Amino acid sequence: MKTSVAQGWPGGVYDVLVRQNIRQVAYVPDAGHSDLIERCSADPAMKTTVLTTEEEGVALLAGAWLGGDRGILLMQSSGVGNCVNMLSLIENCRMPFVTLITMRGEWGEFNPWQAPMGLATPDVLSRMNVQVHRVDVATDAAPTLDAAISQSYDGLLSSAVLLSQRLIGRKDFEAEG
């Protein structure tokens, strides 16, 4: 169960994905992305792929780009550390890469195991030459992602949009147990 969930941003983000011609959506299941995943899965023009680990998504999107498709990786901040080695593929081959990351380990997080990677996520991405854009307000989600996608695919760069835990909603310990 989530409390203080901001409504509306998944619809705006989905509209950006459609407008930006995103055809491949790779993800590790995550409650913070559930509405967006449902929208993308229902769109016959989009191919959604459930991953067993986040770095598979980096490779999948590299292949999609080589095959002429645009894609996005949806993941939680705890998965960023799994991608470090694969991000070197994107950097060395100068391929576009876009990820939309739901943050954990902040804003009243009940699970202390989420805090270290939540804190490290922006720095880890920056060190791997990924442009980091943070969203704290629902109305900023769609335009921030739109700019990140344009920047990545027009300039062959890597971009990450971080959706703050305050934006996506705080998880309750009682609901998790």
- Set out the domains of the chain in order of their start, with CATH numbers: 2-168 (3.40.50.970)
Report angle CA 62, 65, 67 to the nearest 5 degrees: 110
Tokens describing residue 139 = 């109305």
pTM for this entry: 0.89
Question: Residue-wise pLDDT tens for the chain (177 aa)?
Answer: 233 344 489 999 999 999 999 999 999 998 889 999 999 999 999 999 999 999 999 999 999 999 999 999 999 998 999 999 999 999 999 999 999 999 875 666 666 666 667 777 999 999 999 999 999 999 999 999 999 999 999 999 999 999 988 887 766 655 544
Q: Where are the alpha helices (DSSP H) in 22-137?
A: 34-42, 54-66, 84-93, 115-127
Tell me if 41 sits within 8 A of 47, measured CB to CB: no
